[in-house]
Amino acid sequence: MTDLSATSVALAMKTLGHAAREASRPMAAAATRQKNQALMLLAEAIDRQRGSLLSANQQDLSSGSSSRAMMLPSLIASPLTDETVVMVQGIQQIIQLEDPIGEITHLRPQPSGI
């Protein structure tokens, strides 16, 4: 990975945020089955690309002292290993949860009567 400036990181995060917002609209309208299928495909992609993810992570960790200074010490000391397994397991656990979109919870009258 190349050394990224703060400006390019901010731009990348802004672009990613906009893309996530755009994706959230159809995901909110999608049926639970469709959302779960998308999550399963994500879990399968992470599992299938585990070697590439680990390789890219190792490359990031080895990319030089200037970028290491910005990283948390715990990230430098423990490179991505079993985290991909935990990601896949977490996604699988989310699939098992009830879909909260459109549900009203904790509805109770307020002191004002509303």
Which residue in the block uniquely carries the two structure tokens 């080895």? 62
How far is Cα 15 from Cα 30, in angstroms, rounded to an integer?
23
Query: What pLDDT is recorded for position 63?
Result: 72
Specify the range with the lowest mean pLDDT, choosing from 3-7, 21-25, 100-104. 3-7
Dump the DSSP string for 42-83: HHHHHHHTHHHHHHHHHHHHTS-HHHHTTS-HHHHHS-SSTH
pLDDT of residue 9: 84
Work out the mean pLDDT of the chain and round it to a whole number.
82
**Predicted pLDDT of residue 88:** 94
Sign of dihedral through CA atoms 94, 95, 100, 106?
negative
CB of 52 within 8 A of CB of 80? no
Strands (E), 1-114: none
| Amino acid 54: pLDDT | 84
